[in-house]
Chains A and B, each alone.
Chain A
Amino acid sequence: MKMKPLWALLAMLSLPASAENQLNLTKGVTEVSNRVYDLHMTIFYICCAIGVVVFGLMFISMIRHRKSKNPKPANFHENVKVEIAWTIIPLLILVGMAIPATTTLIAMEDTSEADVTIQVTGSQWKWHYKYFENDVEFFSRLATQQEQINNKFTKSENYLLEVDRPLVIPTDRKVRFLVTSDDVIHSWWVPDFAVKKDANPGFINETWTKVDEPGIYRGQCAELCGKDHGFMPVVVIAKEPAEYEKWITEIEAKQEAARQREQELLSMEMSKEELMDLGEKVYNSTCAACHQPNGQGVNGVFPALAGSGVAVDPEAKSKHIDIVVNGVSGTAMQAFGQQLSMQELAAVITYERNAWGNETGDLIQAADINKVMNQ
């Protein structure tokens, strides 16, 4: 039985040396995160010191006061002075800990006078970022391929910690985050900023950061939020203020152009092949997590789309669009009207009505979506 730690050591040695092994809390890249790190280390050392004293005395006692060495036990069983001492001294140590903890906490909770404000909205299982100063908003989803998760492809360097569209913030500016949720409770966490704030549906929490160094910072959702809780990372890119300005102006123009193009597309018809191609892509990145890639859903939790329900009912075409666009309240089905473009919505609904043997032959166009949206 004493072989076990040996196995563990062997296992450790046999693992690839490439994996970087972080064993302690990160110092992070903000003033606050550095203070938090210092606080963590201080308390850790205090605990170690107390541990050395207490466990030291225990071990001395175990060695020197065993029956073979000390056959006659002593008789004492109380000592008021000692008992007062070991009540007061820990109390003083605690006061010593509480002072830096209090000042750090007060600094952390001061969200006033922010330069940039970003609304962070969690939903199953992605983040949405909306900039208040600019007309920019986007969703940020896990970018790791399903094949890597299923062990079919080798895992990339940032396995599970990479997203399609990272949040971009400026360095040296106070960035305020307004954190909320569309469905269950999530928690937005970037260890390098020492920022972790719960996203509560129906309420808005505030937090902030001021990043010192440009770079890419990765975190994860920290509150159990359902099936894919482990698959909703946070990635933040911090850019120099000038670069950030350049980026935000560009993305603002791009999003504006996309909105205009969408209006133009309303009058255009897409072919079935185009719709099915785009629809499959959208379905796999947006819908498959719940309804499954084969449309079978998960029994009792997420309804099947293949072979049953609105997706095959020829009468339910507009109901189908309505569900995808507006969601179903009181269930996990979200409203995708704001998350996807009309073209994407049209494509994914067409795909759902024709894939997996559904074969209704229905083609949905952007104009159909527009009609439902304007109802």
Chain B
Amino acid sequence: MSTAVEATHHDAHHDHKPSGIGRWLFTTNHKDIGSMYLWFSFIMFLTGGAMAMVIRAELFQPGLQLIEPQFFNQMTTVHGLIMVFGAVMPAFTGLANWMIPMMIGAPDMALPRMNNWSFWILPFAFIILLGSLFMEGGGPAFGWTFYAPLSTTYSSDSTALFVFSVHIMGISSIMGAINVIVTIMNMRAPGMNYMKMPLFVWTWLITAFLLIAVMPVLAGAVTMVLTDKYFGTSFFDAAGGGDPVMFQHIFWFFGHPEVYIMILPSFGIISAIIPAFTRKRLFGYSSMVYATAAIALLSFLVWAHHMFTTGMPVFAELFFMYCTMLIAVPTGVKVFNWVATMWKGSMTFETPMLFALAFVILFTIGGFSGLMLAITPVDFQYHDTYFVVAHFHYVLVSGAIFSIMAAAYYWLPKWTGHMYDSTLAKTHFWASVISVNVLFFPMHFAGLAGMPRRIPDYATQFADVNQITSIGGFAFGLSQLIFLWVVIKCVKGGEKADAKPWEGAEGLEWTVPSPAPYHTFEKPPKVD
């Protein structure tokens, strides 16, 4: 893959951008919007993290010390909503905005004005959600899964705000997804055919289809909650002919593809970073693409594994158990491909690589507990315990979030034009990787020993595990401030970064100067 160097020089002269706040409010530039998404997601990450700190502080010892049970429930609920919809998803959209046009040789996203709008409605969604915490009766306290009828008949009036806020998040996600699909399908540089696209582009393309398929389902679910609560319908109320379990079917039909929405782009990131620092081509490119597609398709057939205890017929339990177990196959293929890529490579361990390797190991551990959870008879024991909490934090924190960190460390020189302080970055890595395990690993034990999730107080036999978990939690929370420090330092200055700061990196994004000019690829590059 090579580019006409002339074109990039030409771009640099046209670097005029509006100044002041107007630049950010009215921008249609994919790089500006990408940056805003990334900063927004980091602010949300710290906000949701602060709530996790409140939770871990209350759970440090048995007994109620700091907060009331009702407030505890609000914290677990809003922590989940913010991390899913405010931290992880916008971070991936930010990365997509920054990188997809540069990776496929396009000048910008296909729908730049919609791009602006899909970002700018997000802060309002979260102001509404966070604002609801200050209402009389408190914010949403029914878990991020908002099971009816706890979220309908038995919820406080903040539910209306919650519903509105989720609607806005959904609209934002759908618009972002449309933009990604239209961009990838129409704006690839000549010669960039589908099977030449970087895996990050591929995984995002598939993710975008998942988003378009399931976000409307979520919108339907919250709307039914709203009408059940305020307009006398009985979708989820047996007294009026409805069924509370139907809520769970609808929610998880959204919810399971949603968890792949939060991990597929990670696969793309890791598939870019491991070859770069192994100085060897990715093993099994096409099988990676097929495995991603297979995971996406299977994600529509496994939703009820979240609901094995709701009382389904044996046939349904078996069907969902088998389908869920099947997901291990394409996921395994991915892990094996990464290991095969490393095999006989020539590895170095810069910060992005450290995060990528930690991702592979810790995500796989999360995959193992996922496989255990798939086995219906044993799931009856694990379900709704800390074992589940450990499982999804392994795949979402040391999985999705570690991959986002890896991506940031990989592309930060391209974004800022500076190399970051690598000692500080490695300190961030080691602090994170140690504390994340102190935080989440003991949760497996708590769950197996019988501690239910979402409880503000627990039996004394769980005291030790919870204390260790809380210590890990505070350490992990503090470690993320190092990341903020590294990024700010890198934005402000540092050693000048080359166009391609990593020896083994491949892709069109490394053919433009660092920092990437405001406009890139106004003339499409040629791809061999």
Q: Using a CB–CB distance below 8 Å, which chain A residues touch chain B? A: 1-2, 4-5, 7-8, 11-12, 15, 19-26, 35-36, 39-40, 43-44, 47, 50-51, 54-55, 57-58, 61-62, 65-67, 70-79, 82-83, 86-87, 90-91, 94, 97-98, 101-102, 104-106, 108-109, 124, 148-151, 155, 157-161, 179, 183-185, 187, 189, 191, 194-198, 200-203, 205-206, 219-231, 298-301, 330-332
Known contacts A71-B346, A185-B150; is-contact A101 B455 (Cβ 8 Å): no
Assess A83 versus B309: contact at CB under 8 Å? Given A22-B449, A94-B325, A196-B380: no
A102 to B320, CA, bound (A): 12
Q: Check: B285 CB closer than 8 A to any chain A CB.
A: yes
A54 touches B287 (CB 8 A): no
Contact yes or no, B377 A160, CB < 8 A: no
Query: Does B239 reach chain A (CB closer than 8 Å)?
Result: yes
Known: A77-B280, A94-B325. 14 other contacts (CB 8 A): A8-B472, A36-B377, A39-B375, A40-B381, A74-B344, A78-B283, A94-B326, A98-B325, A101-B375, A149-B64, A160-B458, A195-B380, A200-B311, A202-B244
B461 contacts partner chain A, Cβ-Cβ < 8 Å: yes
By a CB distance below 8 angstroms, the chain A residues around B70 are: 227, 298, 301
Which among B117-125, B357-365, B409-417 touches the partner chain? Answer: B357-365
Interface residues on B, range: 35 or more
List, in ascending order, chain A residues with CB within 8 A of B239's CB: 202
Q: Is there an interface contact between A65 and B63, defined as CB atoms closer than 8 Å?
A: no
Question: Which residues of B sit under 8 angstroms from A231, Cβ to Cβ?
Answer: 69, 457
Given A86-B336, A94-B328, A227-B73, A159 contacting B460 (CB threshold 8 A): yes
Q: Are the C-beta atoms of B335 and A54 separated by less than 8 Å?
A: yes
B378 CB within 8 Å of chain A = yes
- The answer to whether A47 touches B372 (Cβ under 8 A) is yes
Query: Does B197 touch A at the CB level, under 8 Å?
Result: no
Residues of B within 8 A of A221 (CB): 452
B243 contacts which chain A residues (CB < 8 A)?
202-203
Contacts of A77 in B (CB 8 A): 280-285, 341
Closest 9 A/B residue pairs (Cβ): A202-B238, A300-B137, A230-B455, A300-B136, A205-B311, A74-B344, A47-B368, A1-B431, A73-B346
B373 CB to closest chain A CB, in angstroms?
Answer: 10
Contact A58 B357 (CB under 8 A): yes
Q: Which residues of B contact A155 (CB under 8 A)?
A: 62-63, 460
* A149-B137 in contact (CB<8A): no
User: Of B35-43, B99-107, B151-159, which stretch is located at the interface?
Assistant: B151-159
Can you list 6 pairs linking A and B with CB atoms under 8 Å apart? A20-B461, A58-B339, A102-B318, A150-B63, A300-B135, A300-B156
B329 touches A15 (CB 8 A): no
Chain B residues near A109: list those with CB within 8 A.
Answer: 314, 317
Return chain B residues, CB-CB under 8 Å to A226. 73, 141, 150, 154
- The secondary-structure label for the interface of chain B is helix
* Residues on B with beta carbons closer than 8 Å to the beta carbon of A227: 69-70, 73, 141
A78 to B284, CA, bound (A): 5
Decide: B62 and A184 in contact? CB cutoff 8 A. no
How far is B343's CA from A75's CA once the two chains are assembled, in angstroms? Answer: 10
Task: State whether A66 and B64 are in contact (beta carbons under 8 Å apart), knowing that A105-B376, A205-B311, A301-B138 are contacts in the complex.
Answer: no
B64 and A150: CB pair below 8 A? yes
Determine the residue in chain B with the shortest Cβ distance to A8.
Answer: B468
List the A side residues contacting B347 at CB < 8 Å.
61-62, 65-67, 70
| Interface flags, B259-284, vs A, CB<8A=1, else 0 | 00000000000000000001111111
Q: Are A65 and B342 neighbours in the complex by a CB distance under 8 Å?
A: yes
The answer to whether B460 touches A222, judged by C-beta atoms less than 8 angstroms apart, is: no
Q: Is the CB of A70 within 8 A of B344?
A: yes
Q: Which residues of B contact A51 (CB under 8 A)?
A: 364-365, 368
Chain B residues within an 8 Å CB radius of A205: 310-311
Please, how many angstroms separate the alpha-carbon atoms of A83 and B330 in the complex? Answer: 11
Asked if B383 and A222 sit within 8 Å, CB to CB, the answer is yes
Contact between chains at A57 and B339 (CB < 8 Å): yes
Contact B333–A87 (Cβ < 8 Å): yes
* B450 on interface, CB distance cutoff 8 Å: yes
Q: Are B342 and A61 in contact (CB under 8 A)?
A: yes
Q: Chain B contacts of A67 at CB under 8 A?
A: 279, 346-348
Q: Which residues of B contact A25 (CB under 8 A)?
A: 381, 448-449
Q: Find out whether the CB atom of B434 lies under 8 angstroms from the CB atom of A4.
A: yes
Residue interface bits B446-480, CB-to-A below 8 A is 1, else 0: 00111011111111110111011001100100010
Any chain A CB within 8 A of the CB of B165? no
Assembled-state Cα–Cα distance A206/B514 (Å): 64
B7 at the interface (CB under 8 A from A): no
Once the chains bind, are B339 and A187 in contact (CB under 8 Å)?
no
CA of A79 to CA of B449, assembled, Å:
44
User: Considering only CB atoms, which chain B residue lies closest to A157 in the complex?
Assistant: B460
Contacts of A223 in B (CB 8 A): 147, 309, 384
Closest to B463 in A: A19
B194 at interface by CB-CB < 8 Å? no
Contact in complex: B346, A66 (CB < 8 Å): yes
Q: Within the assembled complex, what's the spacing in Å between the Cα atoms of A136 and B477?
A: 52
Q: Which residues of B contact A331 (CB under 8 A)?
A: 153-154
Contacts A194-B380, A223-B384; is A203 near B245 (CB within 8 Å)?
yes
Contact between chains at B360 and A185 (CB < 8 Å) = no
Pair B69/A230 contact, Cβ less than 8 Å: yes
Q: Are A187 and B380 in contact (CB under 8 A)?
A: no
Contact of B463 among A15, A76, A87 (CB under 8 A): A15
Residues of A contacting B335 with CB < 8 Å? 54
Contact, CB under 8 Å: B383 / A5 = no
**Least CB distance, A173 to chain B, in whole angstroms:** 21
A299: nearest chain-B partner, CB-CB: B136
The answer, yes or no, to whether B371 is at the interface (CB within 8 Å) is: yes
Tell me which residues across on chain A come within 8 A of B143, comparing CB atoms: 224
